Amino acid sequence: MAFKPKSAAETKARDLGLALARLAEGDGTPASIGVDRLRGANPRLTPQAVGLMLRKERAVVEATLAERGLALGDYADQGPGRGMEFTIEEAS
């Protein structure tokens, strides 16, 4: 099988998944993670980028979490300036 380079969006989605996994592993599951904590873990993950990654590359984020035995339980985006929150759970 030929090597397929990842797009910038796929790479950023993987970064999002890894940041969520690290925070959830540190907090224990289920973990509620807000976008501000996410930015503290990876400053490249702006609220706009996070929203875009969840809409366009959700499968990559979920696959990255699954590699660590985790799953995206819930995602709430309350709009600009109101915040986003992720719930990360153990994969079943």
Kindly indicate the confidence band of residue 82, based on its pLDDT and cuts at 50, 70 and 90.
low
Rg, Å, the chain Cα set: 13
* pLDDT on residue 69: 92
Return left, alpha or beta for 79; rule: phi > 0 is left, psi -120 to 50 is alpha, else beta. Answer: left
* pLDDT on residue 6: 72
What is the residue extent of each domain of the chain?
10-90
Rounded mean pLDDT of the chain?
Answer: 83
* pLDDT on residue 81: 57
* pLDDT on residue 79: 64
Global pTM reads 0.82
